[in-house]
Each structure stands twice: as C-alpha cells, then as structure tokens.
C-alpha cells in the first residue's frame, strides 16, 4: 500500500516539476516557479528512493 | 553523526541501561536537543553556541559504538567487523547518499558553474568519508577561505565519525587479542580498552588545545582534535558495569546538571570561543553526565528529554541534520534569509523534507534485511518492482532533462545584452562631468547602465571564469606570495624610467597593481614596483589570519618593504588594504577606526621620510560576495552592493592620515559605484568587477586603468 502511494507520489512530483519548469518560461516573476519545480523534483527523487526502500524485504525479528 | 548508531536499539536488554524497546529515551532526547540547536544556529544564528550540538552527537556516538563492540566481544568472544561495517553502511549511507545526490542536483540548477564544481568535489570527498579534511583545507587556504559555504559542509562531522569507526574497532580488537591468551587476562580486556582510551583522550585534548590556539580552522574540522569527544563517550561505555552501581537518587541530579551544562554551553559559547579545546569540554562533559546518569538505571524526572516530542525528534534527528544545511544554503542563495517569512518557509522545508526522507528512505532501509545477509528473503521482491523502479528512474531522467533545458538558460547574445544607458546614467554623467575626466565619466555611464539592467549581459570574461579565476595575473600574483620579493621580476616599466612608484598592502593592493600598471603604461618615465603580499595587512598591528603561515611571514614582508622604500626613495608609495573588519592578533578584538589610524600611521612613519608622496588608495567598496550571490537564477540587481559604513569610516581615517603625511587619498567609489545612487554593480560594460567580496577582477583592473591615471593626474601625482 505504502509503496503504491509512493509510486504515484513520485510520478505526480515529477510531472508537477515538468509543468512548473515549462510554466517558469512564461511567468513574469521568475524565481518562485523554478524553485517550486526544483523542490518538486527533489521530492520526486526522494519518493523514488522510497519506492526502492519500502520494497526491500523486512528483516526478521530475532528477539 | 552519532545518529548512525541506532543499531544499538536492537540490542537485548542490558544492565547498562539500554532498554528493550530499543532506544534509551534520554539519548533520543539528547539527539533532539542537539539537532534543534544546530538547526537553530544555522538558520536563526541563535543560540550563539548552537554548533555544540555536534559535540553532543560525538559523545553519544562514542558511547553507543564502543558499548556495541564491547557487548559483542563479551557475548561471542570476537568482533564481527563485516557485520559492524555493514550495519554502519545500512544505517548511514542510504540517507546521506540521497542528500548528496539531491544537493548535487540542486547545486547544478542553482549555483554558478564554478560553485557547482566546488560542490561536486565536496560530494566526492564526503562520499569517501574525508569531507572534514577537505573543509579544513579550504578553510585555511588563503585563496578559498573567503568563498561561499559548501551546501554539504556539515558532512564534516559524519567524516570524523566514520574515521573513528575505521580506527577504534580495530584498536579494540588489537587490545582484545593481546588479552586473549588466558581467561584471567581476558577479564582485564575492558580495563585495558579504557586505559588506552584515556591515553588517547589526553593526547587528543592536548593536541586540540595546541591546534585551537594556532590553527583554529584546522582544529575545528580535525579528527585528531575531535577524537577525545568520541573518546569520552567510549569511556562511559567501558565504565558502564561500574555505573550500574550508581545510587538511584543521584541519577536525576546528575542528568539535570548535565542538561543545564548543555544549555549553558549553547548560551556561553560563540564563534569567538576557543573551539574545540577547551570550550567543547563543557558540552562534552555535560552530555557525559546525562549519559552516565541513565546508564544502568532508568531515567526519571527528565521530561525535557524523554517526552514524546523529543523522542520523535530524536528518531528523525539524523535526517534533520542531513537535510537542514543544504536547504538553508539554497534558500540563502535564492531568497533573503533576513525575511521572517522566508525563514519560516525554510524551516518548514527542512522539516518536511527530513520527515519525508526519514519515513521513505532511512526507516524502511533500517528495518529491511538489506545487507543483513538474510539469504532466505533475498530475491523475493517481485519482478514488477524492478520494472517500476526502472520506469520511475526513466521518468526522473526525463524530468531532469526538461527542467534543466528550461531553467538553465544559455547566455544572451552579445548584441542584445549590452543595455543602452538609462536616463539615470545620463543625469549621473552630467553631474560628474564637472568634477571628473572623460574616462571616469565613461565608467559612470556604464555603471548606471549596469544598475538599470534587469538581465545579465554576455560578460567577457564570463562571471564563472572570473569567480573561479585568480585575483591577479600570474606575473603579478607571483610577487604577492610570501618570501622575499624578487625586485627584478616585480618591477614594470622601461629602462629609461626616472620616477618610481611602489605598491604596498594586502591582496587588494595586489589587485591594484594591474590597474596601476595599465595607468602608467604610456608613461615611460615611470617604473612600478610591488612589495604587496596576499594575506598581509600593511599596518603596524599584527592581524589575525586563518592561514598561520601567511600570518607568521607577514612581519618580515613588511620589514622588507619598508627597507626597500627607504633605500629606493620612490616618488610615490601606494598603500592599500582591505577595509573589511580586521582582528588584532594580540588583542583578539576588531580594530576600531582609531586603532586602524594609529596602526597605519605607525607603519607609514617608518618610510614617510623616504617617499616623496604617500598615496592612500581606497579599496573597492562592497558588501556583497559575488561568489555567493551569483546563481543561475539571480539577477544583476541581486548582486549590486552598496558602500558600507565601515568603508566610509576607514576611508575618512585614511583621508586624515593622507593629509597629515602631506600625501593624497584616492577615492575608488567613482570606478565601482554610481555617483548618484552609491550602488555598485557586479559588472560594468561587459566586465565583471569583482572575483569575490573585496577583490577586483583582473580584467576590471585593466578597465579602470585610464580612469585611475586620470585621477592621479588630477591630484597632480603624475
């Protein structure tokens, strides 16, 4: 479940980053939009790492 | 950082106080306090000693790692290095690698090329757990010390811990082997480990005292100067069987004294304190008290550390520590961190990113069987998982390509890039025309145009080249190195020259040599000599400097310059030093304008009788470091600087000094700043003006040469 949510979060963040980057080309105030694009891409990268991490098999509880 | 040692949480219940639930609540609280202090210091510059949070982490780390190894040895009779290092990798690497990758990507999009390349090298050093030596080297390198802060500078503390992990377990194993010959000797192994650690702590602390006094920057980052902090934690682990005998009533008192000590160190220690030794002793021993109080017994009455909020912050402290610094640096590069709204948004970004990173990367990996050698569960991940990751990675590549193609713009073509003079330029020029010559007026026109420009033009050389380039051309720079000046190679002018000008001063004087050489190039009767030196302030007072070698060699250089002037009896002596605040080496206090005046006067008096005229040449005014402010998204207006009060105060002092010596004071403002608005652009015409905050760019030195000559003629010096 967590992995599925993360996968869609990664896709959403990446698509948002692309849209914001394209938008930044036409906006008057240039700073916030590219920064939001970068932030969105950063969260996308973390989400992808999260997809990998949550897909790892759990360690056995040896206690 | 110490957070790497959460592996202890999986240890079974021990008498030493590690609870079955996993984590010692007081230690988790200490982590929370430490990371909160570090973040507050970096973001709000409060409390002044917030950076001691790292020292708290060091003690925790030394305690946990040593305890882990001791327990393993006593339980199994050996230490599994493979498992130890795999646990460290699993705990430390995924989260730190994610931060390094994200920082590198951010640096590429935000910083200039030169700063990105610098960040890239920082990342390489950090990946090899040697970042602290890189930052020590950069911090003490004269030509890099004034540069912008690396977005991963905080990785230095991880490097110190990694290096400790590389050495300390092996040393412990060696001790265990020496004591493994008999059961009786084996019983003393723990004592031997403690004895060795006491010895190491004493040596390390003594070294830290010496290094802090003589090379403070090096000392701050050095593993040798920090080892005693980890060692104190290790000693607590060694002594933990004894500490279980502590009376219960004593424990709350010890922990509160320790907590008070940490809080006191946050308030009492500041960037001027001798650090790490002896100042770090306060937070280190205070942390030790808290850990001792909770070793072998339950911590009670310590709610500031054991409350649920502190526990959660302790859990995510590693992630918070990793993410906070690059986010602050990026935020500072793009926005005004003096704005409270920006500060709060930056804090929100830190928290959000850290929590996201913790729950999605750090925690799942820590709980997974990755690298744990659990073969039964290997390869159980479905094939679709691999496809999913591959598809997402491709999406990330496409996104990066689109974002970079849009955000990283190529330079504008030259023809379109040189803005026409704005109306303000004309007015400014008209006002200056009555007092300034044509060269200065031309500069003023270009300065006004640069200040009015909303976009960077295509600069020649590029800002990147200037920022990463030298402060002076190689032939001039060679004369500015410490050691005796070669009079032959540091003299310019024809053999028929009958008049001599000598330049003395610090690195700012070095940058003016190029301008003076240009100003005198069509005057064969003049020769120019330089005795200026990088990092050597030409005042009688010795000035503190991060580069000890430069600082120690400076007096001899000044003596050589004075002797040369008294022998040459030159027509002009140009003296230039930066107007940035200077710290006296002996007084350890900033020089006031009066100190500056007295100290400069004392030096000039040594040769004023030999020079026909002493000319005080003021440095370029600036309060903005182009290396920090120039990013891929900054605008020229973001990097325009103003004339500071400090600059004006010292200029007034030097003006008075010039009068008292019958010399001249040359005001540099007309070559760098608008006469009308007193703002100073980062470029003029197509030429960048500075290589950093204080030093003029070599090409700009050539550009102002004619205006400098014009001013010297006006002052009847040529």
pLDDT for the residue B409: 56
A28 — pLDDT class (breaks 50, 70, 90): low
pLDDT for the residue B144: 64
Contacts by B649-653, CB closer than 8 A, 24 or more apart: B649/B593, B650/B579, B650/B593, B650/B596, B651/B579, B651/B618, B652/B593, B653/B593, B653/B594, B653/B596, B653/B597, B653/B600
* Residue B426 pLDDT > 50: no
Tell me the pLDDT tens digit for each residue of B323-379: 999 999 998 888 888 888 889 989 999 999 999 889 988 998 888 888 776 555 555
A54 within 8 A of A3, measured Cβ to Cβ: yes
Q: CB–CB of B402 and A22 under 8 A?
A: yes
B681 within 8 A of B640, measured Cβ to Cβ: yes
- Distance from B399 to chain A by nearest Cα, in Å? 6
More confident residue, B420 or B87: B87
B386 touches chain A (CB under 8 A): no
Share of chain B above pLDDT 90, in %: 62
Tell me the pLDDT tens digit for each residue of B249-283: 899 999 999 999 999 999 999 988 999 999 999 99
pLDDT for the residue B437: 85
DSSP B653-686: HHHHHHHHTT-EEE--HHHHS-TTT-EE-SEETT
Contacts of B210 (CB under 8 A, 6+ apart): none
Which H/E stretch holds residue B614? strand B613-617
Measured CA to CA, the distance from residue B572 to residue B500 in angstroms comes to: 7
Tell me the pLDDT tens digit for each residue of B193-250: 999 999 999 999 999 999 998 888 899 999 999 999 999 999 999 999 999 989 888 9
B48 — pLDDT class (breaks 50, 70, 90): very high
* Residue B182 pLDDT > 80: no
From chain B, the residues in CB contact with A47 under 8 A are 356, 360
More confident residue, B598 or B585: B598
Q: Nearest-CA neighbor of A17 among B521, B505, B293, B404?
A: B404
More confident residue, B371 or B32: B32
Any idea how long chain A is? 63
* Residue B425 pLDDT > 70: no
Largest CA distance in chain A: 60
Residues 26-45 of A with CB under 8 A from B: 30-31, 34-35, 37-39, 41-45
Instruction: Calculate ∠ Cα B148-B150-B151, nearest 5°.
Output: 120
Largest CA distance in chain B: 97
Partner residue facing B98 (CB), from A22, A34, A46:
A46
CATH class, domain B434-714, is: alpha beta
**Mean pLDDT lowest for which of B174-183, B247-256, B270-279, B439-448?**
B174-183
Residue B136 tokens read as: 């020590």
Residues paired with residue B687 on neighbouring β-strands, in sequence order:
B684
pLDDT for the residue B421: 34
* Strand-strand pairing, B572-576 and B613-617: parallel
pLDDT for the residue B400: 82
Measured CA to CA, the distance from residue B355 to residue B714 in angstroms comes to: 65
Q: CB–CB of A57 and B400 under 8 A?
A: no
Q: How much is the ipTM here?
A: 0.85
CA distances from B131 to B207, B272, B277, B440, B560 (A): 20, 23, 21, 47, 39
Report phi then psi at B621, rounded to 5.
-75, 145
pLDDT for the residue B112: 87
pLDDT for the residue B419: 38
More confident residue, B378 or B568: B568
Partner residue facing B388 (CB), from A30, A41, A51:
A51
* Residue B431 pLDDT > 60: no
Q: CB–CB of A34 and B360 under 8 A?
A: no
Measured CA to CA, the distance from residue B225 to residue B275 in angstroms comes to: 10
B519 within 8 A of B706, measured Cβ to Cβ: yes
CA distances from B602 to B105, B333, B546, B560, B577 (A): 52, 41, 24, 16, 15
C-alpha B6: how far from its chain's center? 29
Tell me the pLDDT tens digit for each residue of B590-641: 889 999 999 999 999 999 999 999 999 999 998 899 998 898 878 898 899 9
Mean pLDDT score across all residues of chain B: 87
pLDDT for the residue B46: 93
B397 — pLDDT class (breaks 50, 70, 90): confident
DSSP-derived letter for residue B411 is P
Measured CA to CA, the distance from residue B30 to residue B22 in angstroms comes to: 15
* Ramachandran quadrant class, B164 (left: phi over 0; alpha: psi -120 to 50; beta: rest): alpha
Buried (b) or exposed (e) across B518-528, using 16+ Cβ within 10 A?
bbbbebeebbb
Partner residue facing B361 (CB), from A35, A38, A50:
A50
Measured CA to CA, the distance from residue B150 to residue B111 in angstroms comes to: 11
Quote the pTM value.
Answer: 0.81
The domain ranges of chain B are 2-6+23-340, 434-714
**Mean pLDDT lowest for which of B9-13, B292-296, B397-401, B567-571?**
B9-13
pLDDT for the residue B113: 86
């Amino acid at each position: 479940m967590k992995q599925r949510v993360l996968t869609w979060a990664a896709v959403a963040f990446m698509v948002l980053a692309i849209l914001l980057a394209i938008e930044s080309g036409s906006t008057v105030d240039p700073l916030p939009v590219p920064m939001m694009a970068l932030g969105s891409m950063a969260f996308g990268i973390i989400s992808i790492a999260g997809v990998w991490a949550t897909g790892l098999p759990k360690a056995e509880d040896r206690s | 950082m110490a957070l790497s040692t959460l592996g202890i949480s999986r240890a079974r219940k021990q008498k030493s106080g590690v609870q079955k639930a996993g984590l010692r609540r007081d230690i988790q609280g200490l982590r929370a306090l430490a990371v909160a202090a570090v973040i507050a210091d970096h973001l709000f510059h409060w409390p002044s000693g917030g950076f001691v949070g790292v020292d708290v982490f060091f003690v925790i780390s030394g305690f946990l790692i040593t305890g882990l190894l001791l327990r393993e040895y006593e339980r199994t009779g050996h230490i599994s290095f493979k498992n130890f290092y795999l646990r460290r990798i699993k705990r430390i690497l995924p989260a730190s690698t994610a931060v390094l990758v994200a920082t590198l990507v951010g640096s590429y999009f935000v910083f200039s090329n030169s700063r990105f390349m610098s960040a890239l090298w920082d990342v390489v050093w950090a990946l090899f757990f040697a970042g602290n030596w890189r930052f020590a080297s950069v911090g003490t390198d004269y030509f890099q010390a004034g540069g912008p802060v690396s977005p991963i500078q905080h990785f230095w503390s991880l490097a110190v811990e990694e290096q400790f992990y590389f050495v300390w377990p092996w040393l412990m194993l060696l001790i265990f082997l020496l004591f493994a010959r008999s059961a009786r000797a084996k019983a003393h192994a723990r004592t031997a480990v403690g004895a060795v650690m006491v010895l190491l702590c004493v040596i390390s602390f003594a070294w830290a005292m010496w290094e802090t006094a003589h090379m403070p920057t090096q000392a701050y980052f050095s593993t040798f100067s920090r080892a005693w902090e980890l060692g104190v934690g290790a000693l607590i682990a060694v002594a933990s069987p004894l500490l279980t005998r502590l009376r219960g009533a004593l424990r709350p008192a010890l922990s509160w004294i320790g907590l008070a000590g940490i809080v006191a160190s946050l308030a009492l220690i500041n960037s001027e304190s001798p650090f790490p030794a002896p100042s770090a002793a306060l937070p280190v021993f205070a942390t030790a008290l808290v850990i001792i109080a909770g070793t072998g017994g339950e911590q009670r009455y310590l709610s500031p550390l054991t409350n649920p909020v502190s526990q959660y912050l302790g859990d995510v402290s590693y992630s918070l520590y990793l993410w906070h610094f690059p986010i602050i640096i990026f935020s500072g590069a793009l926005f005004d961190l003096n704005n409270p709204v920006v500060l709060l948004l930056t804090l929100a970004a830190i928290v959000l990113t850290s929590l996201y990173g913790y729950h999605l990367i750090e925690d799942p990996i820590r709980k997974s069987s990755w690298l744990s050698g659990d073969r039964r569960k290997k390869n159980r991940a479905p094939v679709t998982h691999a496809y999913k990751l591959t598809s997402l990675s491709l999406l990330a590549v496409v996104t990066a390509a689109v974002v970079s193609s849009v955000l990283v713009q190529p330079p504008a073509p030259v023809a379109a890039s040189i803005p026409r003079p704005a109306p303000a330029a004309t007015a400014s020029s008209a006002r200056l025309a009555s007092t300034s010559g044509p060269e200065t007026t031309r500069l003023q026109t270009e300065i006004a145009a640069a200040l009015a420009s909303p976009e960077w033009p295509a600069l020649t050389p590029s800002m990147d080249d200037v920022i990463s380039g030298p402060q002076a051309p190689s032939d001039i720079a060679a004369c500015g190195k410490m050691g005796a000046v070669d009079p032959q190679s540091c003299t310019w002018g024809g053999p028929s020259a009958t008049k001599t000008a000598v330049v003395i001063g610090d690195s700012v004087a070095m940058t003016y040599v190029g301008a003076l050489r240009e100003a005198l190039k069509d005057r064969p009767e003049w020769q120019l000599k330089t005795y200026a030196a990088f990092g050597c302030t030409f005042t009688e007072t010795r000035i503190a400097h991060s580069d000890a070698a430069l600082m120690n060699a400076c007096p001899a250089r000044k003596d050589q310059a004075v002797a040369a002037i008294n022998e040459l009896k030159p027509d002009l002596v140009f003296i230039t030093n930066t107007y940035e605040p200077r710290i006296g080496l002996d007084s350890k206090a900033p020089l006031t304008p009066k100190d500056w005046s007295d100290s400069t006067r004392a030096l000039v008096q040594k040769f004023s009788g030999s020079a026909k005229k002493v000319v005080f040449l003021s440095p370029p005014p600036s309060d903005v470091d182009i290396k920090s402010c120039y990013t891929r998204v900054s605008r020229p207006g973001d990097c325009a600087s103003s004339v500071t009060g400090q600059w004006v105060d010292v200029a007034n002092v030097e003006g008075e000094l010039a009068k008292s010596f019958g010399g001249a004071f040359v005001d540099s403002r007309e070559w760098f700043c608008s006469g009308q608005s007193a703002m100073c652009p980062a470029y003029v015409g197509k030429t960048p003006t500075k290589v950093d905050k204080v030093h003029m760019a070599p090409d700009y030195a050539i550009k102002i040469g004619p205006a400098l000559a014009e001013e010297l003629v006006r002052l009847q010096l040529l």
